[in-house]
Structure formats: C-alpha cells, structure tokens
Structure 1
C-alpha cells in the first residue's frame, strides 16, 4: 500500500448523496454486483458499459443506464456529467495482444473526461503486483492506475488478486476444471499461491474507500484471510460441490499452451485465459493491513467465499433474456459452466423489422426451421430414441408466440416483439442451451437478423457434445438467418 497523497484532492472527497455515482464497466462481474450493493445503501447510481442492451438485461430499478466506451472519448462526457464518484472497473483483456495499449489509452481518456466533469474521486480496481511480475496483464493493470492518477482527480486504487464470485475468470476456470475433469494433468502454475478474496468483502472495500476522505490518493492491497495455492483452492471447491479431482502438475506446459488447454477444457475465452495465466504463474502475496485498519470487516475464508458465491447465483437466477452465467439458463445447476460456448450467424435484409419478426416468431412446428431441415430432424430423432421430446412437432399457434410457449422441444423464455426471441433448449443433452434471435436496425435502413446458440456444458461430456456439433452450427445458423431474411423480403414483395 502507498500512503495517500492529498496534493490533488479537494477538501471534501466523500460521496454526496444528491449526486450520482458512476459504475463504469457495470456489465462486468464486479460491476454487476456493485450496482445493487450501492442501491441497497441508497446511492443514486449511473451504470455505464459499451453495450447498453447488456445493462438492460440486469433489470435494475432506479438506475440511469448509459452507453459509453473509454476508447471513444466523445461518449464519456455524458456518462460523467454531474457524477460525484466514479468506479473504474474496465479492462481490455478480451481484445487480444493489444490489450495493454488499449487499457492505457482508455484510462487516459477517462482521467481527462473526469477532470472536465468535476468528478471528486475515481475508485479503480486493479490487480496485485508481485515484485518479479513479467505478465503483460499485471503490468497493464499497474499502468492503468498510473494513467488515471496522471489526471487531477484523486484516485483510490484497490488491488485484488483472485476474486471469488460468479463470473470471475479465475473462479470460473476453477469451477470448470473441477466439474469437467476428474483427473487433471495441469501446468505447474496450479502450485502458485495467492490470497483469494470474497466478492462481498471486495464490494465493501470499494464502497468504503469511496466514502473516506483519507483514502484519496491511496493504493491498497485487498486480500482474503488465507494464502492458498490454486491447487488447494480446486480441492476445496471440489469438496464443497461433491466432485473429487486428482491434480497432477507437470512442468512442460508454456503459458501459451496452457491457454489453449484452458480454452479447450473450460468455457473461459482464450484471450482471458492467457491473461489470467500470466498472473497465476506468480506467487502473489498481499499486505492488506492498512486497508483492514481503514475499513474493518469480517473477511470470509475460501470455503465461506465459495458458499457465498453459489448463494449469490441462486439469488440472481432469473433474467429476461440470455445473460452470461444466469442460473435459469443453466437449468439451475451451479455445476454447469458459467460462461457459454457460442456459435451463430447473421444476415442483412431490406425487409422491415416487423417482416423479419413474423418469420422468427413462426419458426418451428409445421413451419420447421427454414434451412437444412433434415439435420434438425436427425437431431430430434436421436433425442426421441433417448426418451426425449424431439419428435414433438407442435406449437400453440402457427405464427404467434408468448412467454412460456412450447415450440417443438424449445420453451420461449424471452420475448421482445420485433427485437428478440429467446428459446431454451429442451432435448436431452449434457448441459443447458439457449437459441436467441435478435433483430437490429442498420444505419442504412436495412435490418439485421442474428441467431446465436449458447451452450453451458455439463462436464467433459458437455464439452465433447458441443465440439461434435460445432461444425454443423457454423453452417446451420448462417443459412438459417439468410433464409429468414429471404422469406421476410418475399413476404413484403
């Protein structure tokens, strides 16, 4: 921890209840949980993300939703207008090799915009930095904090390692490995040690430092009460969820090979896995004594943190449309993967959104699926042979849909006419799936229709199931959306 420096600070840096606080990066896993925690404490909240539609799925009440991107400076002034405290939670790990440069640029843009808006404080969630760090991800998190501090707005930085909560990449890798593989031949980084912190404890720290004037300008380590290896964490997780796993570390897997291995046996995207491994290969101790002295609280140990994470999932099970990790789209099974495997296709048409919607809403039943119907029929036959509802070709109405409708083996679980239809997969399979259709206007007046399949695998069989069907998905969904576009144009001709 570094001592707070008050040379840039204004005399009052506490949160003012009459001005909103901004959660920038509210669609991420920390932001998704920070917003309701702030609401519980009666703060006025503005939530910002690159895609406003993702924020709408959170179904928050009394939250000002804003679309803003730190890499697009022109979007920041509206997001920061009138803001008292801004929580900066964004990173560019999913962007690939250039994420370090993008993180630095985004932070500099945000610092300048916060200064223009008269923001009183920025609270930044960074990462713990080991002394011998050579990870581009960890170095980027450090540089991001420096770029934010280069502005005139006081910055409080909280540095955390592994966060134990639903959606955290490190936690979800752990869940997938334990639930998917009874025997793991793992890279040696599973022996590296760190101090995992419960998401609930981290949220209390983030809000706590924002409320304290003496925290302005400080950099604080946040940690849980235990120093554990990733291997020890996986074993404890397995004991809690009733999965026995044998871990055999080997020294021969490079970070690059480890990343490919993780992307194959887990659902965490490759770029995030690569950045994560860059940090996991180090022992990451933390000195959290200054932060504990500033904000005393009961810290959860690792077992308690896992139980709290699983309970958080159960409390937030229902969503209006497919949302990453939503338990209702994982058959209410916490051992199914949080992140989904995805495949899809899209097409653009001159037809109106209403005409496209009419075709989407009529899918299934006697109308069938518009493209490569024999493949759909083959899958339905296999399901029927396994005792499933695959050959039930029926729907309540030939063209109209409503929530709860059964369309063949699908259930309608999300419905926004002329915008979105969400169908939950009902055939027998090792996992849980969703097929979602989205209709979006193009700038040139045309309409885009997109079909995306999301699959939350259950164990190694769920992964193998997905990989066996993935080549067909790439063909089917491109053809399906083209067929919908063509039928919509013909209907309006």
Structure 2
C-alpha cells in the first residue's frame, strides 16, 4: 500500500468525521484538514498516530497547497449548504478553483468528490444548491488530478440532515401540510454505504476519472419515507396533505420551527426536492461491490444509534471552532472598534472537580442553571430569525468537545478543569463569546467566573448590548450560585462584578 497520506477535506464534518476512522481501519494514513486543529484533535480519532492534523481554509489557496503537499489523493467533502450566506455558489466556486490550484502544485494524483444527484431538465431545472454542487464537480476536473465524482441523493444515518428532518417531523406531527415535493421520487442511501463507496473508490484505480451515481436499493418519495419511518419507529401512521400553493420558503419556515435542522439547510434540502434524484447508472456496484442497506434497515440502524446515544457525527458538527481575531487582541479599546465585556466571579468552597463536572454539563436538557424560560425565549426568537435556537441541545455525554454545538453556541476551547469557551451562533448584530473559568487556589477552594464578550456591528449592536446588560447581570449572578449548589459546594465569597480597570 502507498505510504503517502490521504488528505480529507471536511474531516470534522458529518461524512468526513466517519470516513477518517474507516480509512484508518483499512490501513491508510490520513491527513485531516480543517480550520481548527483543536477541533480535529478533539475527535475520537484525532490523536491516532496515523492521523496528521493540519490547518487549512478552502478560501486560502496557500494553506490548501500546504495541506495537500506530499499526499497521494484527497477527499473533497466540503460544501456551503446550511451557511447563512447569499453567495454560497460563489464561495463554492472559489473553493473549488483553490483546490484545483493546490492539487496541481502538490501533484495530487486523485480527488474523490461527493456531490449530489439530479439532472438539469428544461421543465424542471436543478435547484441552486444542486446546480452549484454539479459546477464544483466540473471545476475540479480542470486540474491534472483524476477526479472521481460520486453523486448521492439523501443520506440516511443517525445525525444526517435528511434523517433528522424526517425523524423530528414524524415524531412531533401526527399530520403534516406539505408542498408537493413529498411526491418527488428519490433514491436514498445509507451513510454506511456512502462511506464504503468513498473508501472503495480510493482503493480501486478503475474509478479514477469517472462520475458514478450512488444510491440504495429503494426508490421512493418522502410520503413513503415518512410512512416507513413510522413503521420502524413504532409510532402511529402520519397523515400528509400536499398543497401545490405551499412555497418552499414557507415550508422551510415551519419545518425549522419543528426540527433542529437550520433553516438555511432546510431551505436547500426542500428546494432540491423538486428534482427527481435517481441513479442513472449502476457502474459503482460493479467497481465497488458491497451489501446495500434498504431504507428500512438504514432507518432502523440510525434509530438504534440515536436511542443508545452512539451518534459518531451529526449535521451540527459543521461550524467554525476558531477563536475570533478580535477576542485575542490586546489593543486599546479605541483601536479596532468598540468591544464590550462584563462578568461575575465568586469563590466556592468544595471539590473543584465537581464544579467542573457541573459546568461542562451545561445546556441541552440540563439547562443553563438559571432563567431557563429566558434562554428558551431567546432561542425561540432566534429560530424566527432563521438561527439555530435552542433546538440543537448538547452532544451526548458529559464531556463536550471542541467544535461541538451547544444550543445556540459552539465550543471553541475546553481546558479540562479550567476553562470552557463558547462562541455564539445565534443571530446577533455582532459577535459574542461566553467564557467559564475555574481557578483552584487550594484543595477545597476554587474561583469561578463567567464573562461575556461582544463585538457590536454598528449602532444596532451597541444598542443590543445595553438592552441585554440587565439580563446578563441577573443571569450571571444566579447561574454561579446555582452551579455551586449543583456541585454541592459553599459560596464562600458571593458573586461580584469583574472589574477591568
């Protein structure tokens, strides 16, 4: 086997996060690329001796070239779906051209790209996102590397956007009013089979330079998928009423209010469902033979992993875990714009380890230790504004990792027993951080602090900060006291305002 590493772009995403351990299992060396090395290192496979973590940005050609240098092949598993931007097609185009340049400079032999199924027809043109995915595939072929394009429809697996949308809608709504997209035929594929095809293409040179359609054995529409899910989940049959005048935008809104899937991603999924996505060739079944899971079996396995809290990756894994530049700046306040911060600290008597255990359990069903109705109200407003809201919850287990989504925050730093730093992903007129810090002074004494930092965007951002300030004062003081109570410690020194002057 070639000893050179394989580059995985999108290594901490839904597909990439599952592909890396499979490649390692098959004996490949992996160079895992991402914007945050800390996020890569925090994955279960991140410290494997056969994994090299590198920092790379798809919009930074030089970083891509360095990431690809010395590799024999690359998996291109990145996309802009779900990101709140109107120029996603231009971003995807820019990233693809950067990849072509990097592949040429690094003498990459192969690129394996996961795109989307669908044909651009006169009476039913491709959606913007499917058209963009097809364009990316064409751009990648402009370079010297041989490109294998795998075109897939909906991916069914625990944590996938398609599966989670079906699961939450079916679990929560006995009756659904939908647009006519529920009648469009599709050929879903299990995530297990997607991973098998990706790894198989790397190991079979015959697939180089080919465009291959991948799908499961079943062709069905969303009405049939909802029915199948209800049977497997053991819930009553769901009734669906398709309405021709229900627009994709309106559908996206109500689906986002019911499910934790981001509205921007839902809009892309629903808009794409007007296109029939069925495999036009089955060459992949000869080149990379494997047992294909039926939709019933794929749903059953996804439900089992969800119920046993063994979801390896999920759609919420996509997101930046990088520290904002402004947060690390030490310039005077008048240099580089206005920045606000406020916080409270207290000294607790008790076991510091128990205090940390309580801190890292924050969010999700546990809540935020004070004012949960206020947090939920803020989350509801955020969902109306097309933000993530509180519906994402927290990752499974008591030890969230760097890069994990936590309600409408994302963890960008976690120093065991000392620090938890969250980056706000809710809709805001600016950027915000929330930091918890613990400092142990002696065996049974620990200082705990909570600090909010905010970089406002324009006058709206400044007004927002001052409007929220009274709520922060009440929340922070009581959250610290309740964290102490949950940890079984005594508040030796009551919460007081942190002074920065």
Same fold (TM over 0.5): yes
Q: Which residue of 1 aligns with 2:85?
A: 96
Q: Pairwise mapping of residues 306-321 of structure 1 onto structure 2 (< 5 A)? A: 306-313=299-306, 317=310
Q: How many angstroms apart in 2 are the aligned matches of 1:222 and 1:126?
A: 10
Q: Which residue of 2 aligns with 1:128?
A: 117
Q: Does 1:107 align with 2:99?
A: no
Q: Which residue of 2 aligns with 1:77?
A: 65
Q: Is the 8 A contact 2:126 2:275 kept in 1?
A: no
Structure 1 vs Structure 2 CA RMSD: 4.0
Deviation at 1:324, TM superposition (A): 5.5
1:331-360 Cα shifts (integer Å, max 9, x gaps): xxxxxxx999xxxxx996999xxxxxxx78
- Paired residues in the alignment total 385
Over 3 Å counting, the alpha-carbon distance change for 1:219 and 1:477 in structure 2 is farther
Q: Which residue of 2 aligns with 1:56?
A: 41
1:456-493 Cα shifts (integer Å, max 9, x gaps): xxxxxxxxxxxxxxx99x94798369999x94445xx6
Q: Is the 8 A contact 1:452 1:477 kept in 2?
A: no
Q: Which residue of 1 aligns with 2:388?
A: none
Q: Which moved more, 1:113-122 or 1:429-438?
A: 429-438
SS at the partner of 1:228?
A: coil
Q: How many angstroms apart in 2 are the aligned matches of 1:160 and 1:437?
A: 29
Q: Is the 8 A contact 2:118 2:275 kept in 1?
A: no
Over 3 Å counting, the alpha-carbon distance change for 1:424 and 1:262 in structure 2 is closer
Deviation at 1:160, TM superposition (A): 0.4
Q: How many angstroms apart in 2 are the aligned matches of 1:70 and 1:305?
A: 32
Q: Pairwise mapping of residues 116-195 of structure 1 onto structure 2 (< 5 A)? A: 116-132=105-121, 133-195=125-187
Q: Is the 8 A contact 2:158 2:311 kept in 1?
A: no
Q: Pairwise mapping of residues 350-389 of structure 1 onto structure 2 (< 5 A)? A: none
Deviation at 1:81, TM superposition (A): 1.6
Q: Which residue of 2 aligns with 1:211?
A: 203
Q: Is the 8 A contact 1:411 1:425 kept in 2?
A: no
1:158-192 Cα shifts (integer Å, max 9, x gaps): 00001111332222211121122122111111111
Unaligned runs of 5+ in 1: 1-15, 327-337, 341-345, 352-358, 368-394, 415-421, 441-446, 455-470
Over 3 Å counting, the alpha-carbon distance change for 1:350 and 1:217 in structure 2 is closer
Q: Is the 8 A contact 1:262 1:273 kept in 2?
A: yes
SS at the partner of 1:29?
A: coil
Q: Is the 8 A contact 1:223 1:286 kept in 2?
A: yes
Q: Does 1:302 align with 2:295?
A: yes
SS at the partner of 2:352?
A: coil
Q: Which residue of 2 aligns with 1:383?
A: none
Q: Does 1:281 align with 2:274?
A: yes
Q: How many angstroms apart in 1 are the aligned matches of 2:471 and 2:26?
A: 47
1:217-241 Cα shifts (integer Å, max 9, x gaps): 1000001001010111112112222
Equivalent residue in structure 2 for 1:224, among 202, 216, 221 = 216
Over 3 Å counting, the alpha-carbon distance change for 1:207 and 1:100 in structure 2 is same
Deviation at 1:79, TM superposition (A): 1.2
Q: Does 1:411 align with 2:358?
A: yes
Deviation at 1:153, TM superposition (A): 0.7
SS at the partner of 1:64?
A: strand
Equivalent residue in structure 2 for 1:291, among 275, 284, 292 = 284
Q: Which residue of 2 aligns with 1:389?
A: none
Q: How many angstroms apart in 2 are the aligned matches of 1:305 and 1:88?
A: 24
Over 3 Å counting, the alpha-carbon distance change for 1:98 and 1:423 in structure 2 is closer
Q: Is the 8 A contact 1:223 1:288 kept in 2?
A: no
Q: How many angstroms apart in 2 are the aligned matches of 1:289 and 1:318?
A: 30
Deviation at 1:317, TM superposition (A): 3.4
Q: Which residue of 2 aligns with 1:401?
A: 352
1:357-402 Cα shifts (integer Å, max 9, x gaps): xx78x67xxx7xxxxxxxxxxxxxxxxxxxxxxxxxxx772xx632
Q: Is the 8 A contact 1:128 1:286 kept in 2?
A: yes
For normalisation by structure 2, the TM-score amounts to 0.67
Q: How many angstroms apart in 2 are the aligned matches of 1:84 and 1:349?
A: 37
Deviation at 1:312, TM superposition (A): 4.5
Over 3 Å counting, the alpha-carbon distance change for 1:324 and 1:206 in structure 2 is closer
Q: Does 1:65 align with 2:53?
A: yes
Q: How many angstroms apart in 2 are the aligned matches of 1:59 and 1:99?
A: 31
Q: Does 1:253 align with 2:193?
A: no
Deviation at 1:105, TM superposition (A): 1.1
Q: How many angstroms apart in 2 are the aligned matches of 1:476 and 1:163?
A: 43
Q: Which moved more, 1:160-169 or 1:214-223?
A: 160-169
